Amino acid sequence: MPEPVKVANCSEVAPGEKTLVDVDGRAIALFNVGGTFYAIDDVCTHDGGPLAEGDLVGNEIECPRHGARFDVRTGKPLCMPAIEPVTTHQVVVKGDEVFLVIQD
């Protein structure tokens, strides 16, 4: 199992907000949904759009290019044009620090 990598402090990402982090050259979108953190690859499975630039509403992120929506908790696509899920990553919170365990 890969080692957790620190990517942020909890205080840096308020509830309902998102940020883009880089882990070894891999762009990851980090979300705070009601105080719980989730992480997914920052790449829409429809056309590679930057998900961290989209609108976060509840637990759904909308791709800014064509409107595909994904559940940030599961990576599951919620509407067309995306049909493939986006990769999710395990989030570990220790105190005020947010760590990711990157999935291949």
- Determine the distance from the C-alpha atom of residue 49 to the mean position of all C-alpha atoms in its chain, rounded to a whole number: 13
- Residue 28: the pLDDT is 99
Domains of the chain: 5-101 (2.102.10.10)
pTM of the predicted model over 0.85? yes
- Residue 60: the pLDDT is 98
Q: Closest Cα to residue 15, out of 63, 58, 69, 76?
A: 58
Q: Which residue has the tokens 């930057």?
A: 50
Neighbour-count burial of 14, counting CB atoms closer than 10 A to its CB (0-12 exposed, 13-18 middle, 19+ buried): exposed
- Residue 103: the pLDDT is 84
- Residue 2: the pLDDT is 86
- Residue 100: the pLDDT is 98
Low-confidence ranges of the chain (pLDDT < 50): none
Contact 29, 64 (CB under 8 A): no
Three-state DSSP class for residue 72: coil
- Residue 17: the pLDDT is 98
User: Rounded CA gap, 67 and 58, in Å?
Assistant: 16
